Structure formats: C-alpha cells, structure tokens
Chains A and B, each alone.
Chain A
C-alpha cells in the first residue's frame, strides 16, 4: 500500500483512538456544536423549504394582478376596466376578485376574505382543488382555511356571522375547508362568493378590489403588464414573478436576521474552542512534546489535530444537519415557525416541502467546521513548533 495512504490511515486510527479516550469531553463538545449547527441549519432549511412551498403554491396564481390606487392606497376598481384588459393581445382571461382583511375582535386575528367567480377562472385552479367540501355558490356560503375554522370555534356548527362596516351582522355558512397542505396561503382565508364579499365589505356591485389577468404565454407577462400600466395609468400592476420574489425576500430577510443571531452563537462557540485550544493543557502540551521526541514531525501533529477536529466537527455537522432536517421536515420547524411564518394570530399549519441543497449544506459546513478546524489546529501548530524539551522535563 502507498506509504502516504498508510500514514494517513495510521494517523486517522490514532485520532479516532484519541477522541475515544477523551470521549466524555469530546461528546460534550460535539453535542453543543451539533446543537448550534442544528439551529443554524434549521433556519437555512426552513427558508429554502418555505420559499419552495410558496413557489409551488404560487405556480397557479394569476400571472398579473391589477389594483386601483388612490393617494398611494388601494381602493375598489370599476368592473368596466375588464373589457379593456380582455382586448389586449395575449390575455387569456380576466377575473374580477374581491378581497380584504377582516379583523376578529374576539380572537385578535386577521382573516383574509377572498371572492372570485370559479366560472371565469381557468380550469384546474389549485385553490378550488384544495377545497374539502363544496365551493360557495349560494348567499353567504364560504370555504374556510383551517386557521379560521379553528379560530371561529365552530365546534360542529356551520353557520357564523361577521360584522359589516356599519356593524350589522352578515350571516355566513361554512360549506367546506381548505386542505392543510395549502396552509401557507389559506390558513387565514375565508373564500366566499363575490356578492357575499361585496356585501361584507360594502363594495358597490359594479366594483371589485382587483383584476386577475391570466396570459397565454408566460414569457409575455412583463410586456402585458407594461401595456396595462399604460392603458390604466392609475393602477398598480403586480406580476407573479414579483410576488414570488417578495416571498423570497420576506423569508430571506427573516431567515437572515435570525441567522445573524445564531451565527453569533456559532462564533461564540468557535471563540470558546479557540480559547480552550490555545490554552492547551499541560497534559496536551506534554503529549505533543512526547510525540515530537519519538519522531513525529510538526506536520504529523498538525495532521493528527486536523483529523481529530475534522472528525469531531464533521460528526457534529452531520448530526446537526440531520437534527435540523428532522426538526424542519418532520416536526414542521416547530422552534422557528413563529419567527418565519405569519404576522397575525393565525399561524399556518402547512406541510413543508423537503428541500435541501448542496449549496446550503456546504455553506453550513464552511460556517461551522472550517472555523472550528482553524480554532483547534492553529494552537496545536504553535505548540508543535516549540522545542519539546521544556514540556518533558
């Protein structure tokens, strides 16, 4: 066998034995390190998964949404805009939509009320496929997101009431619920008929809150959006890529903020490791000196320390990432979901898509294992280049 390979195997053997001999200390370090890595990796995985889940759910959202703006605020827009949009080349269909927020004073939660006519929507819209029960058609009928259904505490009842702006009660009837796997978008949703929504929000019959524009060729989204901006100058035109980007930015910002906090913990651990390693115990210095006396080279001692640290940190990284995977995709990211999801009382109970990229794993490896290697190997190098006579007297 090649001498160099054999030498590495012998060093690896010695390193493993050395780690095992100090198993309590090393297991302690590995546990703490794996815990910190688990926290950082959880955020990384959760962000990637939420972004992927959002992208997946947005895949069938309208390509363009047109809203009326006045003094920088959104307001209802006339249905007469519909015809001018339908005449644009490349537009497949335009569906008026009514939506708004309803604040529940009892629970302090905000519900999102949404109404579109299924008959004018493209076939196969995922929102309608996600309904367990039937779609609303009659007066006051609604499909509720799982969060809203729980918040209203219906307890087997199907009827409930919401307040109109003039504080009169609007009777509603639950005819279905959204499936939990769409919770990211539907947890706080009340989906009802356009007439019921107009009645609830006191919107005139010839108005809606926005227009959903579906285009024939996705490559023309930008061009059509520009045309809409020109023919309807007072409107805000949102494209699906923009909404998708907003999700990425929101999750990325939250993840980034939390990651910075956790990186501080990681940095603290590395500083601790450095402090501990740079103050090598007399026993450790003596061991290095004895190895040098017996013919080990400085490079051999560094390789030994490299192997020891790589095994300890690598195992911690593996354990941390595995624990993070289980935490995020099996326990639903229970620890961090409140930070990453929801801005209201209702937090979505969605099933996250398992997304782990090599880049994420490498990033976590670089942020954790590499600094730990440096923190432990450099002090060992300093001890190894010192003449060994002092340590063995």
Chain B
C-alpha cells in the first residue's frame, strides 16, 4: 500500500529578489514499511521536501497524499490530527520545549490523550522509550541540562510516543556519538522491521542506510529527486 505519494511538488522561496526553487517537480511514492533515505548536499531541498510531506509547509504546486488523503485539502483540525496520530517528526536542530523536562517533552504529543489509565500507560511507554535511547536517568532533566546529542535522543523518543505509521527524520543521528548512533539505528531498524513503521530520513550519513535491511535511497540535487537504489537491491 502506498502510504506517501508526492505528485509534481514545487516549492519556491524568494531569495535576493529572485525565486529559488527549493523543491522542483518532485514525484515519488513510499510504500508502507519502507525505509527511505534521501541524500543530498546542504541547500539541495531535502528539509523543504520533508516539511511538504509532513504538512508543515504548503507546496506552491502539486499534491502530497498521506494514507490516501491530500494533506492540503484537509482542514486545520484534520491536518493536526494527521500530524499527531500518523507522523512522528525528528528535526535537524533542537525541537524540545525548553521549559519542559525530557519526560514531559516526550509526553507532549499525548497532551489530550485522556484518562488517567491512559496517562499511566503513556508515562510507562515514555520511560521505556527514554531507556531505549539511553536516557533512563534523564527523565527529569530540562533540555538546557542535556547535551545536543541527548536532546536529539529525547526528540527521537518523542517521535515514537504515539506509535506513528510514519517517521520523518531530518539528520537524526547528526549530533550523536558512534555508540549512541548504533543504538538509534538499531531502534529504527526494530521499528521498521518489527512494528512496520515507515521511515523517510533525510541524511548524508551512508551508515544510516547501510544499517537497514531494505533501504530505498534517493538523491536530491537542486530541488530535484532521483531514486538511486531500488527496493531489494
């Protein structure tokens, strides 16, 4: 089943009085359970493409379909529900609320989850995720008390708290040391292969693709996308 479908996406930004095509005519599909890596240099349009797919920015042309629904044909409320329930985001730079603890940050997507029993269950899951990213002792630490790498790991744990079908990640292992990076990649592989979570990762780290069983890789250059590795190869 095609979980993500991009059709002729175009995103233009004004730069120095001229139009800069950050994403230029991109069309591709991602099947459920895929692990997709998009490689490219800085400024090639990778992060913009991720924003368009996640419904964080509106394309100037084209459509993004997630689970068969056009992102930008939905209301604000529907789009919010989609972001909350279907997609987990991992950003390139710190995306934690500085005034919340690590545990509170992880639980943030569940703010409106509901009953006390659900809250207890969520807290248990959050603690488990913290353990999986190697921060079981840091649940009560504020972002300012964590290193850049630790903040990234909290953000990764937060992306999984809602058990989303899709993870959109922008350089997820950028600030991590080798050992932690291995642990995170193992975690990604576990969710991808065992849980069936679909990953769309923007990176220039080839180890990230090598660590996965069936990665699909795309190259992005000047806003244009081309697939370089086909499933199974």
Asked, given contacts A299-B77, A387-B56, A389-B57, whether A293 binds B112 with beta carbons under 8 Å apart, the answer is: no
The residue of chain B having its C-beta at the shortest distance from the C-beta of A6 within the complex is B114
- How many of chain B's residues have a CB under 8 angstroms from any CB in A? 32
Set of chain B residues within 8 Å of A292, measured between Cβ atoms: 56, 80, 83
| Complex interface bits, A160-198 against B, C-beta within 8 A gives 1, otherwise 0 | 000000000000000000000000000000000000000
B57 near A387 with CB under 8 A, answer yes
State the CA gap A88–B115 with chains docked (Å).
Answer: 80
A21 near B56 with CB under 8 A, answer no
A199 to chain B, nearest CB (A): 80
B99 touches A (CB below 8 Å):
yes
B56 near A388 with CB under 8 A, answer yes
A287 near B97 with CB under 8 A, answer yes
A295 near B83 with CB under 8 A, answer yes
Set of chain A residues within 8 Å of B51, measured between Cβ atoms: 387, 389
Set of chain B residues within 8 Å of A335, measured between Cβ atoms: none
A105 touches B (CB below 8 Å):
no
Q: Which of B84-92, B126-134, B200-208 binds A?
A: B84-92
| Complex interface bits, B62-89 against A, C-beta within 8 A gives 1, otherwise 0 | 0000000000000011001101110001
Set of chain A residues within 8 Å of B56, measured between Cβ atoms: 292-293, 387-389, 392
Set of chain B residues within 8 Å of A7, measured between Cβ atoms: 112
State the CA gap A6–B89 with chains docked (Å).
Answer: 26
B98 touches A (CB below 8 Å):
yes
A392 near B108 with CB under 8 A, answer no
Set of chain B residues within 8 Å of A389, measured between Cβ atoms: 48, 51, 56-57
The residue of chain A having its C-beta at the shortest distance from the C-beta of B51 within the complex is A389
Set of chain B residues within 8 Å of A6, measured between Cβ atoms: 112, 114-115
State the CA gap A17–B92 with chains docked (Å).
Answer: 27
Asked, given contacts A6-B112, A387-B56, whether A297 binds B76 with beta carbons under 8 Å apart, the answer is: yes
B138 to chain A, nearest CB (A): 18
A1 touches B (CB below 8 Å):
yes
A294 near B109 with CB under 8 A, answer yes
A393 touches B (CB below 8 Å):
yes
Interface positions, chain A 289-303, Cβ under 8 Å from B, are 290-300
State the CA gap A293–B91 with chains docked (Å).
Answer: 10
Q: Total A-B pairs in contact (CB under 8 Å)?
A: 72
The residue of chain B having its C-beta at the shortest distance from the C-beta of A9 within the complex is B112
State the CA gap A22–B47 with chains docked (Å).
Answer: 32
Set of chain A residues within 8 Å of B48, measured between Cβ atoms: 389
State the CA gap A283–B100 with chains docked (Å).
Answer: 13
A380 to chain B, nearest CB (A): 15
A257 touches B (CB below 8 Å):
no
Set of chain A residues within 8 Å of B92, measured between Cβ atoms: 393
B95 touches A (CB below 8 Å):
yes
Set of chain B residues within 8 Å of A392, measured between Cβ atoms: 56, 91, 93, 95
- Residue among A293, A296, A388 with max Cβ neighbours from chain B (10 Å): A293
Which listed residue (B58, B95, B115) contacts A387, Cβ 8 A? B58
The residue of chain B having its C-beta at the shortest distance from the C-beta of A8 within the complex is B112
B54 touches A (CB below 8 Å):
yes
Asked, given contacts A10-B112, A21-B99, whether A294 binds B84 with beta carbons under 8 Å apart, the answer is: yes
Set of chain A residues within 8 Å of B95, measured between Cβ atoms: 290, 293, 392
B99 near A22 with CB under 8 A, answer yes
A89 touches B (CB below 8 Å):
no
Which listed residue (B47, B85, B91, B98) contacts A295, Cβ 8 A? B85
Set of chain A residues within 8 Å of B114, measured between Cβ atoms: 3, 6
| Complex interface bits, B94-135 against A, C-beta within 8 A gives 1, otherwise 0 | 011111100000001101101100000000000000000000
- In the complex, besides A296-B84, A392-B56, 11 extra interface pairs with C-beta distance below 8 angstroms are A18-B99, A283-B98, A294-B109, A295-B80, A299-B76, A387-B56, A387-B57, A389-B57, A392-B91, A393-B47, A393-B92
> A-side interface residues toward B, CB under 8 Å?
1, 3, 6-7, 10-11, 14, 17-18, 21-22, 283, 287, 290-300, 387-390, 392-393
A selection of 18 A-B contacts at a CB cut-off of 8 Å is A6-B112, A6-B115, A7-B112, A11-B111, A283-B98, A290-B95, A290-B96, A294-B84, A294-B109, A294-B158, A295-B85, A295-B162, A296-B80, A296-B111, A299-B76, A389-B48, A390-B57, A392-B56
Q: Which 3 A-B pairs have the closest CB atoms?
A: A295-B84, A21-B99, A389-B51
